[in-house]
Structure 1
Amino acid sequence: MAPSIIEGPVNGIIAPLKATPGTDSKVPQVRRTIDEEHGTTPASYPEYLPVFDFGEKYPPLEPFAHVEHGKDADPSFKDLLPDGSKIHKLTPTIGSEVTGVQLSKLTSAGKDQLALLVAQRKVVAFRDQDLADLPIADALDFGGYFGRHHIHPTSGAPEGYPEIHLVHRNNETVRYEEVNSSVSWHSDVTYEQQPPGTTFLYILDGPEVGGDTIFVDQVEAYKRLSPPIQQLLHGLKAVHSGFEQAEFSLKRGGVVRREPVKNEHPLVRTHPATGEKALFVNGGFTRSIVGLKKEESDALLAFLLAHVGRGIDYQARIRWAPKTVIVWDNRVTAHSAVVDWITGERRHLARITPQAERPYETPYVGPE
């Protein structure tokens, strides 16, 4: 549920329902967000404003064979980071920032190296990008190299492009009389059998200050655990559920375009390109640990989620700027928006969400 509340478009102010032409006028089919009527500035990319189509229904997702492009990529990154480009680390274990590279111009070798770099650094911010200025179909074609596009079951999308997940809100919708903080750690749609891997988020509009996104390194979070706890987690699986997100959407009058699912995934998963082990739990979708009594499951999950959330020494905060694209590996990170601006400015982002392999675990090998 947290991704719907914090990083999704559901807190945007939504227009009254409209009937789709040619349909029964009593059965509303499509609604759009309202912008100017509520004091926000005009959207810089109106073609990216979210549309909620109540007449669209999607079948269940079918398994597919994922190709991990980072697995055999050249670790020198010569096709990704040419002469003149600059990369610097934001923290020792997670986060880098790159200038002098245009993602949309990468060759296949460069894209492979991008997948590897992001797997290693967990999240990478690329500045001065043209992804938002391309035709939406071209942006999707670029992202589709990294896996099958995920179509979100409840969020708004640009009209005609359901593969784009939109984040659209202003700070006026935060009810701080109900919550103390907007932070809500999650990894995207982990309830799917094959959750996303290399993921792209690019800015369309943002506040002058604030609205950052923070990421946590789930590999380092795993490494910080004592060997007995690591060994305990291996072999255990957790239930990841999308039912709560669907219920929340329906309660607010939103859409559910695909029947919700839940899947069991290992608590510790292995990345196919790096071989690194990572915690695979998040507060948005992880509900229980299979085979444990409720009290045991609740206690262990609470410990793991607190461990992830307070790990400031393995977190990175990325500041948005115009023309920025943030690329992260959803398999080995969790993230949260920071809803801290008070000016009412629009925060409008687009996400391309390629799915990856089904999470798997390799045997516990003890302390490194």
Structure 2
Amino acid sequence: MSTTETINQASEAVSSLTLKTGEQKDQEEYRYAHLLPHFDPSEKFPALTPFEHVDPGSRALKHADPLAFLKNAARVVQLTPRLGTEVRGVSLLSLDGDGRDQLALEVARRGLMVFRDQHEFIDAGPESYLEWGRHFGRLHVHPTSGHPKNHPEFHLVYKDANSTFNFEVDESITTTVWHSDVSYELQPPGLTTFFLLSVPSTGGDTLFTSQASTLRRLSAPFVAFLRTLSAVHSGVEQAAFSRSGRRGGVVRREPVEHVHPLVRRHPVTGEEALYVNRQFTRRIVGLKKEESETLLNFLYDHVSKAGDLQARVKWEPGTVVLWDNRVTAHSAIVDYGELKERRHGLRITPQAERPIPALEGLELPTL
């Protein structure tokens, strides 16, 4: 080996060591370094088992004033007529059991609620997040995403200048992917809590749409037909994405597929909502391939084009967002990549009941 090659190798080693040291220093200085994504290839979990879910919003129906938890709010604004409420002046961390029940009911009714100035809630830490989430249901452990070390109950989304652990499809012309979280589970999430620990200076918004409103826009005969149908929701593609080495390369639980009604009924409000999403819905049971694809693509197109049924959440430090996965769909907007800034989010995801068909007696086959 020549002297020049030896010097070059030594220089590369020093540069590598400097880079690693710089990354370690950055993580040590980052306030939420303890909540960064962690991936352990040896970490495995058994298949999820069914459980009985009692929605806390049902208890609030018996309260004298189901909106009492908002009585001291400084400001309550409807984001749109059909979807979303923004609140200032209410501390989520201070809500008692009755207040949390009332919150669950209002999130079910409005689909989406945005609470500003919740620094105390965000800084309370993992044990507080666990106690909060368990009030609303059994906490879901995601099969592939990153989670904080020793806390698999929290799903993380993360992107910075050098890495991303989001579920992104590089070959797509858009980052907009409408979905309802992990709808492939037998008992998908109900009320979900999400907040950003690190917010880019601009961009990184989240879009939401009302699946109850998208259903109401369709003609009565067409809705009657949709109510007779069910569809397969699959986690196979998401697992394959991780097995390819991306998003941390970890699959903690084997992927599942389950059949859910195309139109579901909310267990508390009784409201009916469209329940298909481009990310996880794969085919309609009983239809020919071309029929299924045509119908699903029509519904996906309807959801994505209905801007008058959507709300856009612009993040700011201290924001906590809650939505009901049974009556909404959402999509992250990954438009901040060129800024080389960090976007670090944490999701608390309680599971709910198996989707209830809007059509009474609809049989859901087992795969």
Q: Which TM-score bucket, shorter chain as reference?
A: 0.7 to 0.9
Q: Do residues 106 (structure 1) and 99 (structure 2) align?
A: no
For the aligned residue pairs, the C-alpha RMSD in angstroms reads 2.3
SS in 2 for 1:146: coil
Is the Cα–Cα contact under 8 Å of residues 238 and 265 in structure 1 kept in the other structure? Answer: yes
Residue 182 of structure 1: CA displacement? 1.2
The alignment's TM-score, normalised by the length of structure 1, stands at 0.85
The separation in 1 between residues aligned to 2:286 and 2:169, in whole angstroms, is 37
Is the Cα–Cα contact under 8 Å of residues 200 and 352 in structure 1 kept in the other structure? Answer: yes
2:38 to 51, 55, 67: 51
Residues 21-170 of structure 1 aligned to structure 2 (within 5 Å): 36=23, 43-73=30-60, 74=63, 76-129=65-118, 130-170=120-160
The separation in 1 between residues aligned to 2:28 and 2:311, in whole angstroms, is 30
Larger CA deviation: 70-79 vs 287-296: 70-79
Match for 1:225: what amino acid?
L
SS in 1 for 2:298: helix
1:251 corresponds to: 244
Match for 1:352: what amino acid?
I
The separation in 2 between residues aligned to 1:315 and 1:84, in whole angstroms, is 24
In structure 1, list runs of 5 or more residues that go unmatched: 1-32
Is the Cα–Cα contact under 8 Å of residues 27 and 33 in structure 2 kept in the other structure? Answer: no
Change (3 A) 1:221 1:84: closer
1:359 corresponds to: 355
Match for 1:79: what amino acid?
A
Residue 208 of structure 1: CA displacement? 1.1
Residue 36 of structure 1: CA displacement? 3.4
Change (3 A) 1:223 1:159: same
The separation in 1 between residues aligned to 2:25 and 2:202, in whole angstroms, is 21
SS in 2 for 1:348: strand
Change (3 A) 1:36 1:222: same
Larger CA deviation: 233-242 vs 76-85: 76-85
Match for 1:249: what amino acid?
S
Match for 1:59: what amino acid?
P
Residue 35 of structure 1: CA displacement? 8.6
Q: Do residues 314 (structure 1) and 309 (structure 2) align?
A: yes
Q: Whose helix proportion is higher, 1 or 2?
A: 2
Residue 340 of structure 1: CA displacement? 1.3
Structure (1 or 2) with the larger CA radius of gyration:
2
Change (3 A) 1:41 1:121: farther
Residue-by-residue CA offset, 1:48-81 (whole Å, 9 max, x unaligned): 1010011111001000010111123137334311
1:297 to 292, 310, 327: 292
The separation in 1 between residues aligned to 2:280 and 2:326, in whole angstroms, is 14
Residue 362 of structure 1: CA displacement? 3.0
Residue 84 of structure 1: CA displacement? 4.0
The separation in 2 between residues aligned to 1:232 and 1:171, in whole angstroms, is 48
The separation in 1 between residues aligned to 2:169 and 2:254, in whole angstroms, is 32
Change (3 A) 1:53 1:277: same
In structure 2, list runs of 5 or more residues that go unmatched: 1-19, 361-367
The separation in 2 between residues aligned to 1:280 and 1:109, in whole angstroms, is 29
2:184 corresponds to: 191
Residues 194-343 of structure 1 aligned to structure 2 (within 5 Å): 194-252=187-245, 254-341=249-336, 342-343=338-339
Residue-by-residue CA offset, 1:67-118 (whole Å, 9 max, x unaligned): 1111231373343112343211011100110011111111111001100111
SS in 1 for 2:356: coil
Is the Cα–Cα contact under 8 Å of residues 43 and 205 in structure 1 kept in the other structure? Answer: no
Residue-by-residue CA offset, 1:105-140 (whole Å, 9 max, x unaligned): 111110011001111111111011122201211111
**Percent identical:** 51
The separation in 1 between residues aligned to 2:349 and 2:169, in whole angstroms, is 30
Residue 180 of structure 1: CA displacement? 2.4
